[in-house]
Chain A
């Protein structure tokens, strides 16, 4: 027991899982790797577990190479940085979002190696607010886990599909890029990722900056909630892959007239 104590400051109630509090410093998911994760990725700042940070997962994992994850920390208001960490993945750090002028929200798809906690750590100043849920591995229903026969669409590498919606309190951006996210872990397939992605307004001011890591699923498909820029009729997406190729596209912003009608209620 004593060797556990540095990992679990509240060891006095080791079995009190049901008595989880809405915020605290004890990992509600009881993951033995969390202290290592915190040390590696949280830069020595303090962390509290906080229900205001929601990680939304599907009720069953259909495809371990395309697990949909939504991180929603809008209940915190604004944030400086959002990290997504999967404790038991070979590459735990999944994604880093700087919501410069955007809500602390991101939806995306990821690969998992096995059942693992999926965390979101949201930094406000010097404090990380951490939320998360356990994601079970594939298998269920009457589905066949897909045979890994990956096809890469080289002809349309970098092709970007995207759309912006006007919502009551800002914009909603959905995008899908045709691009493999090769981790470098398979024989003879080197690392090849979209590494950086940013969303800017017409003046070039960055609204959201993303760093994508190995676990992000092939053909990155993302939802972000940027603020409505004061001027300009389009957002600019800038992406760069690990080969240094850049991709830049413009996504029109629907006119203000349709705001609230077309938007999500």
Chain B
């Protein structure tokens, strides 16, 4: 009897050890690594393209475009990616590409796919709009919670960034480059756009999507259209959208505006015909949108974002009988 018990305990101990060791094995065997592939879009400027997809466990949230600019003072980044792991890889890549440390990281807006990599950098070198720091303090934990759920282990070690610097409207000179800061809004309540005057590169953040449907969880379509008008008046040489290919010209600006118009018109039409959320999600979209990535998914999300406001405001008020 006691012999048996001993065996059981030993077996149990051995099993316990194995169980404790197991979780480490896959991590050691195949650590998750973002395959960052920089594309030189202009002399000494590289963009790492985001996948034209929703955030998934397969892409680790690497869906936004991130750009590295070389300056005589050091590397400058536009956005930091979706996780600490991404930020760490991005930092190493920027140092390798430029041969200099990262002196400035500009965060365009609060969404997870753009900001959560910022924890890999010295907070004093991380800049955002005036409200970003406070917004991250308030909503940052929800942001990381959501990302841990969706992207899983890619997020390991990711916390809430605390940008140490505010980028005010005006021009910031770093080395030979001059960054004009444009505080705009519409995609979120604060979208920081940058125009690098020496190269003519325009960074509108997520105010411009190209060949991918724009996202609207925090959108104010009216302000967004106003911001697009402001952007279209800037005489740029190359536009780097938050998501989608880098191009000369204003195709991204026009396409984003057209998508917003289409989404609002479809939702307004469905509302006036009495459709509820899931019914409206299934409505057809115009043919021109078939060229965009994740169209149905983003349209469905936009219905959830925008229809409730119409119901609250535009359903006729009934008088108590």
Interface set of A (CB-CB < 8 Å, partner B)? 56-60, 62-63, 66, 68-70, 107, 109, 137-147, 158-163, 165, 172, 174-176, 219, 221, 223, 236-237, 247-251, 262-264
Contact = CB atoms under 8 A, between A and B. Distances in A.
Given A60-B300, A144-B110, A68 B318 contact: no
Contacts of A163: 274, 315-316
Interface in B288-321: 296-298, 300-301, 304-305, 308, 311-312, 315-321
Interface stretch (B30-38, B172-180, B252-260, B275-283): B275-283
A161 B304 contact: no
A162 B278 contact: no
Interface stretch (B20-28, B123-131, B137-145, B195-203): B137-145
A139 B149 contact: yes
A60 B297 contact: yes
Interface of B: 54-55, 63-64, 110-114, 138-139, 142-143, 145-147, 149-150, 206, 215, 217-218, 273-279, 281-282, 296-298, 300-301, 304-305, 308, 311-312, 315-321
The DSSP consensus for interface residues of chain B is: helix
Given A59-B297, A163-B316, A176-B312, A147 B276 contact: no
B317 A62 contact: no
A25 B254 CA distance: 53
A142 B55 contact: yes
Given A68-B276, A144-B218, A174-B276, A161 B146 contact: no
B307 to A, nearest CB: 9
B146 A145 contact: yes
B316 A161 contact: yes
Given A107-B276, A142-B111, A143-B146, A160 B217 contact: no
20 contacts: A58-B304, A68-B277, A68-B278, A70-B277, A70-B279, A138-B149, A139-B150, A140-B55, A142-B55, A142-B215, A145-B142, A147-B139, A161-B312, A162-B318, A163-B274, A174-B276, A221-B308, A248-B321, A250-B318, A264-B275
